[in-house]
Structure 1
Amino acid sequence: MYAYFNFADADGQTRHRRFTGQHTLLTARTIEEVIPCLEQVQAYTKRGFYAAGYLSYEAAGAFDSSYATVEGSALPLLQFGIYKSFGEQQPCVTDAAVEKLNWVPAIQKTVYEQAIQTIKEEIAAGNTYQTNYTMRLRTRFTGDPAALFRQMQRAQRADYTAYLAWEDMAVLSASPELFFRWDGKRITTKPMKGTIKRGVAYEQDLKQRETLAASVKDRAENVMIVDLLRNDISRVAKLGTVRVPALYTIEKYPTVYQMTSTVEAETLPNTTIIDIMRALFPCGSITGAPKASTMKVISEIEPEPREVYCGAIGYIEPNGEAVFNVPIRTAIVNKTNQQATYSVGGGITWDSTADGEYEEAIAKSSVLQEQLPDFELLETIAYEDGAFVLEDRHIHRLVQSADYFSIPIEEAEVQNLLRKHQAAYPGQSHRIRILADQRGKLELFYSAMPAPIKGKQKFASAATPIDKTNRYYYHKTTHRKIYEDYKMEEPDVFDTLLWNEAGELTEFTIGNLVMELDGKLLTPPLACGLLPGTLREELTVKGTIKEAVLTKNDLQAASRIWLINSVRGWVEMEPVD
C-alpha cells in the first residue's frame, strides 16, 4: 500500500508525508480481527515503525458491540501499512486531465425523502436527536485516480487530505475534518457540523457566511455533536480537563463554508490508541446522537456499507503521536470494475427539510466537478499625470477578491507598491497592471497608455450564454479563457457582448455595459453575472448610471450603447451589421 497525507500539524501548517517501501501490511476483514490488528500496529510503532492506513466505518462493532452497521463491505475493515520512514514529497504528480464524470446518486430523491421522514419518526419516538444520513454517488471512471485526487485537493484545499493506493483500488480523501490529534498526553478533536454553499460574488459570499453563522438549526446540530464528543473524550480524559476552546467557528473552503468546534482534553496515563478508538470511534459528527441508537437507525435506512467513508484515515508515529481525519469528501476508485464511489450526507434533526438537506448534500459534492484554474488576481489601472485613476476602488476590489480566494494580501502592501511607482515616475502616464499570485506575492508592470478611441466601435453578441454561477465573472483574474472563447467567435469586431442563461445582458469582455434607454443611463446588476468594474461602481455611487436588468430586446430600443472601463473611459459601441 502506498500512503500520502497532507495533514495540518498542531500549528495549522499542512505538511506532506509520503510513505513508501512498506515493511508489512496489516489487514482485518472481520470484527474479531480488528483489535488484534491494532495491537500489532501498537507493537510496531513501539519498535520505531510508522503505521499509516484506515479503519472502515463498519469496524465500529469491534469497539462497542452495540454499534450496528450494514453488512457486506467489499473492503477490509482495517488496513495499515507499516513503514520505516516517510518522505515529504507530494504524491505521484500527474498532469493527466480528469474526464467529465457523470456522478449519479445511488438512490432516487423519493427514497431520500422517505429516509428523512423515517428519521423524523425515530426522533419523535426518542431514539435519536440527530442522525447523519448519507447516500452514495457513482460514476464510471477509467482515468488516473491521482489526477482526480489532485483535482479534489485543489477544489477543497482542505487540511486533512489523504491518498491511499493499491494495485486495484485507491482512496481519495479531501477531508477538511480532523477526527483527532493525540500526542500521547493531549487529545484534540474538531467536529464539523453545518454547511452552506459559498456565494460567487464577494457580498453574496459574505451573506452566505453570515447565514451559516446565525443558523439556529446548524448551531443546534453543532453543539449536540460537541456534547457527544465531550462525553466520548471524557472516557479517556483526566478529570476536569475536557474543555471547548472554540465553538461555532466558521471555516472557509473554495466551494463551501463549514461550522466547526474544538474539543480537547488531557488523556489518562497509559492510554493507548486502542483506548482512544474505543472511546471515540466512529466520530460523532458522522453518526449523530445518541451514538448507539442512532447508528442502529442508520443501519436500517442506509442500504449499503459506508466503508472507508466516515471511518478514519491517518497515521501513527513511533513516538505514539497519532493524527486521523474523518473521511468525508472521500472517493473510492475500484480499478477492476472501473467504478468510482463518492458519499455525501448531513445531519438530520426535527427541523430538517428533505429539500434543504438534499441541496446541502449536493453542495458537498461540488468538490468532484470543481476544476480550479491556475490564476493570479489582476488589476489594470490608469496612471495619468502622476496620479492613479480610481485608486481606492481598485485597491478595494483587489483586497476583496484576495479575501474571497484566501490569498494573503494587505491593503497597505498594495498602496506601498503604487507609492514606489509614483516616486519613480512622477508626473508621467502609464497603463499599470498589478498581479497577485496565490501566495500573495505582488508585482507591478507598466506600459504606455492606449491611444484614445475615436468614433463608434462595432460589437457582436455572443452566440451562447455565460454561466452566471461561475465565480470568475465576479473577480478580475488572469483566467481570461471565460472571455477569450467568446471574443474568438467574432475576432474582427472591437468586442463581444455577453448574456446569461436567462437572456439577460451582462457585460463586454473588456468592460461593463451602459445603455441609454428613455433618457436614462442603465447598467446590468452584478447578480446577472459580471465584473464589479471600478468605473461602473464610481458612476453608480454618484447616480450617473442606475442598475436595471437589460435584455437583447433592449439593444434595438437603446438610443446609445457604451463599453466602459477605468482605463479607456467611455467607448461608444454599435452592433455589427
Structure 2
Amino acid sequence: MEQKEPLLSFEFADSNDKINPLTFQNPLRVITAHKIEDVLPSFQLVQEAVEIGYYAAGFLSYESAPAFDPAFRVKSGSSMPLLWFGIFSEPKHEYLNSTGDFTTSEWKPSITMDTYDQAINYIKQCIESGDTYQTNYTIRLHSKFNGDGLAFYNRLKKAQSSHYCAYIHTGEQSILSASPELFFHFHNGKITTRPMKGTVKRGASHEEDTANANWLYHSEKDRAENVMIVDLLRNDLGMIAESGTVTVDKLFEIEQYPTVHQMTSTISAQVSETASLVDIFKALFPCGSITGAPKISTMNIIAELENEPREVYCGAIGYITPNKEALFNVPIRTVLIDHRSGDAVYGVGGGITWDSTSIGEYHEILAKAKVLEESPVEFDLLESLLLDNGQYFLLEEHLKRMGNSAGYFGVNYDAKKIKKNLNDFSYENNSGLVKVRLLLARNGEVTIEGQPITQQGAAVEVVLAGEAVDKSNPFLYHKTTNREVYTKFQKQMPSEAFDVLLWNQDGELTEFTNGNVVLEINGKLWTPPLSSGLLAGTYRDRLIKTGEIYEKTLTLADLKMATKIFFINSVRKWREVHLL
C-alpha cells in the first residue's frame, strides 16, 4: 500500500562530500503553487517559515521559471505543482529503507530517432544563426509502474551512487532523484555551484575505463560545452555576489559514477547580505547546465522542440534550514511516478553544440538511462594467491590488480592494512603450499581464508562453452565474488570435466572460468588479449613480460590448429588440458 502522507528523504553531500541523511515527515503545512502568478508569493511564505525557525523541503518544477524571469518560455500542459514545499519542525537524521517490491514495463522514448535527428539539425541551424551556443535538448522515457516507489528509489540510488539523492512522496506522486549534480549550496553567506557538462560511458576494464576518462578530460567538445555553462553561471552569480568574489574553484574535474564519467566545474561567490533566497533563485534558476546558453533564447528553442513539459526534471529539489542553509540538486537521473495512473517518466538529455552528432548524443542518452535497468549486485573484490612456505607468489601484482578494481568500483582500498593482514596470515601458515583467498568488502573490510593445495595429476579434460560471453560485461575484467557469468557454465559442464573454455560474441577465445588459456600453435605459445573479454591474470602477465607467451586474438578455429592447450593461473601455474 502506497503511503498517503508526505514523506521526504534527502541524502545530500555536505561541503566535505560526506552524505548527511535527512528525513522529513508530518509537515505542519504544505505550500503549493499551480499557477505562475502564485509561485513567488508561495516562495515568500516558505522563506517566512524558515525565518521563524522551521525547515522547508520540497521542489520547484522547471515550468516555474517564468515566475523568476517573465522572459523565460516553457512548455505548457504540466499537471504537476510548479512549487511544492512542506514546512517541518525538524528532520530525523536517518536513511529510509524498504522491503517492498516493484515492477516497471519497458521504458519507451517519447520520440522517434528521426524526430530526434531533426531536432539536433534544427538546433545546429539555430547555432549557425546565433540564437544559441549550446542547447540542452531532452526527451522522456515512459513506463508503467506498479509497487513500492521507495524500493525503486533505493535501487536507483545504489545503481547511480550519487551525492544528491532525494525521495519525495507527496501522496499522489513520488519523485525518485538519484542526481549527481549540485544546483547550489548556500551557507554562511557563501554560495557554491557545480554544473555538470560532459559525459562518457564507463569502460569495462580498468584500462578502457581510464582511457575513457582521459578522453573526456581532453575532449575539446566537452570542454567547450562545460566552459560555456561555467561562464553562464559566473554571470548569473554576479547578480547576487559581492563585487569581485565570483571564483572558478575547479575546472574540468572528472567524476566517476557506475555507468558514466561526468565532467564538472565548481564556481563559488560571497552573496550580498541583502540577497534573499528568492533573489538567489531569480539569479540562478533554472540551472544553466540544463538550459544552455544564452539562457533566454535557448529556453525558447527548448520550448519549441521538446514535446512534453519537463516538470520536476531539470527543476530543483532541496531543503532550507532555520540557520539559512539551503542545499538543492538539479533533478537529473530522476523518475516521476504518478500513483493514480501508474505512469512513470524519466527525463534524459544532453548539451547540443555545433560539434554534436545525432548518433553520438543518442548514445550518451542511452548511457545516462542505463541506471533505470541496473540492478546493483553486492560483491567483494577477490584475489587468489599462492602461499609457498610462507612466501606469497606475485603479491605486488595481485595487490595492484585489486587496487585497480577498487578504484573502478569505488571500493575502500587500504594497501597497508591488506598487507598487514596477509603478513599475519603467512606468519601462522608458513609451511607447505596454501591457496589464499583474499576478500575486500566495499567498506574496506578484509577477509583472508586458506586451504592446502593438493598435488595435481596429469593432463585433464576441458569442455568448450555452449554459448558466448558478452565481452562488454565488466565482471569479466575484474576478479570479484560475483561469478555468475562463470558459475552458469560450471553448472553445465559434465562431471569429468576440469573446466570450461569460454569464447565471446565475436567467436574469439577468452579464458577458462578459473584461469587463462594458452595455445601452442606452430611451436609458439599464444594467449588472447584483454580486449577479447577476460581477466588480466597475474601469472599470464608475468609470462608475457618474460617473453614466454605472446598475445594475439585467438578464434574458435585456432583450437583445431593448436598442438597443445594449457590452463594457467598464479596458484596452479601450468596445466596441460585436452578438449573433450
TM-score scaled by structure 2? 0.96
Distance apart, 1:457 and its partner CA: 1.8
Counterpart residue type for residue 44 of structure 2: E
Distance apart, 1:428 and its partner CA: 4.3
Contact 2:56 2:319 in 1 (8 A): yes
| Matching residue of 1:429 | 433
- 1:233-288 CA deviation, whole Å, 9 max, x = no partner? 11111111111111111111111111111111111113211111111000000000
| Matching residue of 1:88 | 93
- 1:138-176 CA deviation, whole Å, 9 max, x = no partner? 122223222221221111101000111133321111100
User: More displaced, 543-552 or 123-132?
Assistant: 543-552
Contact 2:74 2:299 in 1 (8 A): yes
Structure 2: unaligned runs, 5 residues or longer: 1-5
Contact 2:100 2:147 in 1 (8 A): no
- 1:448-473 CA deviation, whole Å, 9 max, x = no partner? 12x12212222222222212111111
| Matching residue of 1:308 | 312
**2:13 maps to 1:5:** no
| Matching residue of 1:413 | 417
Distance apart, 1:201 and its partner CA: 0.3
Counterpart residue type for residue 323 of structure 2: N
Query: Partners in 1 of 2:100 and 2:530 — Cα distance?
Result: 35
Query: Partners in 2 of 1:410 and 1:230 — Cα distance?
Result: 39
**2:239 maps to 1:252:** no
**2:567 maps to 1:563:** yes
User: More displaced, 417-426 or 137-146?
Assistant: 417-426
Contact 1:452 1:568 in 2 (8 A): no
TM-score scaled by structure 1? 0.97
Distance apart, 1:498 and its partner CA: 1.5
Query: Partners in 1 of 2:358 and 2:178 — Cα distance?
Result: 26
| Matching residue of 1:34 | 39
Query: Partners in 1 of 2:103 and 2:475 — Cα distance?
Result: 22
**2:554 maps to 1:550:** yes
| Matching residue of 1:218 | 222
Query: Partners in 2 of 1:428 and 1:456 — Cα distance?
Result: 23
User: More displaced, 41-50 or 139-148?
Assistant: 139-148
Q: 2:170 aligns with which of 150, 166, 170?
A: 166
User: More displaced, 409-418 or 13-22?
Assistant: 409-418
| Matching residue of 1:532 | 536
Contact 2:104 2:143 in 1 (8 A): no
Contact 1:564 1:570 in 2 (8 A): yes
Query: Partners in 2 of 1:508 and 1:419 — Cα distance?
Result: 30
Alpha-carbon spacing, 1:532–1:14, altered in 2? closer, same or farther (3 Å): same
Contact 1:387 1:427 in 2 (8 A): no
- 1:118-148 CA deviation, whole Å, 9 max, x = no partner? 1111111111111100011112222322222
| Matching residue of 2:577 | 573
| Matching residue of 2:26 | 21
Query: Partners in 1 of 2:17 and 2:518 — Cα distance?
Result: 47
Contact 2:567 2:575 in 1 (8 A): yes
| Matching residue of 2:455 | 452
Contact 1:184 1:267 in 2 (8 A): no
Contact 1:181 1:323 in 2 (8 A): yes
Q: 1:375 aligns with which of 374, 379, 386?
A: 379
**2:83 maps to 1:78:** yes
Distance apart, 1:338 and its partner CA: 2.0
Distance apart, 1:557 and its partner CA: 2.6
SS of aligned partner of 2:350 = strand
SS of aligned partner of 2:554 = coil
Counterpart residue type for residue 350 of structure 2: G
RMSD: 1.4
Query: Partners in 2 of 1:173 and 1:100 — Cα distance?
Result: 17
**2:482 maps to 1:466:** no
Distance apart, 1:353 and its partner CA: 1.2
**2:397 maps to 1:403:** no
Contact 1:221 1:347 in 2 (8 A): yes
SS of aligned partner of 1:208 = helix
Counterpart residue type for residue 29 of structure 1: H
User: More displaced, 359-368 or 487-496?
Assistant: 487-496
**2:107 maps to 1:103:** yes
Query: Partners in 1 of 2:531 and 2:147 — Cα distance?
Result: 37
Counterpart residue type for residue 22 of structure 2: R
| Matching residue of 1:386 | 390
> Aligned pairs, how many?
574
Query: Partners in 2 of 1:232 and 1:179 — Cα distance?
Result: 13
Contact 2:187 2:326 in 1 (8 A): yes
| Matching residue of 1:515 | 519
Structure 1: unaligned runs, 5 residues or longer: none
Q: 2:241 aligns with which of 237, 242, 245?
A: 237
- 1:282-302 CA deviation, whole Å, 9 max, x = no partner? 000000011011101111111
Q: 1:203 aligns with which of 197, 204, 207?
A: 207
Contact 2:462 2:579 in 1 (8 A): yes
Q: 1:61 aligns with which of 62, 66, 71?
A: 66
Contact 1:56 1:307 in 2 (8 A): yes
| Matching residue of 1:476 | 479
| Matching residue of 1:273 | 277
SS of aligned partner of 1:552 = coil
